[in-house]
């Protein structure tokens, strides 16, 4: 799984979550909501550190963005692109088949 984070999204995460180098953001599947490819599930996020079982990750400005293998059921067959929605002023998640 590949994770891409746009510059605007990186800026939002760093400012809104007061992130410093060495911090990490975990993305996971959660009940309720919808995504482009899931009905009844949406993307959750938390400030967390990756363990040995990482499904995909990327590091930008010393901050790690990742998904754990326990969420393979949610991210299976997809790469994740994280962008910023100017209208809602929050991250938006796009799924691309891999």
Q: Are 82 and 5 in contact (CB under 8 A)?
A: yes
Q: What DSSP string runs through 1-15?
A: --EEE-HHHHHHHHH
Compute and round to an integer the Cα radius of gyration of the chain: 13
Topology of domain 3-97, CATH: Hypothetical Protein Aq_1857; Chain: A; (2.60.300)
pLDDT values of the chain reduced to their tens digit, one per residue, 98 residues: 999 999 999 999 999 999 999 999 999 998 877 777 777 778 999 999 988 889 999 999 999 999 999 999 889 899 999 999 999 999 999 999 98
**For the whole model, what pTM was predicted?**
0.91
Q: Are 14 and 89 in contact (CB under 8 A)?
A: no
Residue 76 tokens, joined: 């299976």
């Amino acid at each position: 799984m590949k994770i891409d984070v746009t510059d605007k999204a990186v800026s939002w995460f760093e400012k809104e979550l007061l992130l410093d180098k060495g911090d990490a953001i975990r993305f996971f599947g959660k009940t309720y909501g919808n995504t482009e490819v899931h009905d009844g599930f949406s993307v959750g996020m938390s400030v967390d550190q990756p363990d040995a079982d990482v499904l995909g990750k990327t590091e930008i400005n010393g901050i790690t963005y990742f998904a754990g293998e326990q969420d393979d059921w949610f991210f299976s067959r997809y790469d994740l692109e994280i962008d910023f929605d100017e209208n809602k002023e929050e991250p938006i998640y796009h799924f691309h088949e891999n």
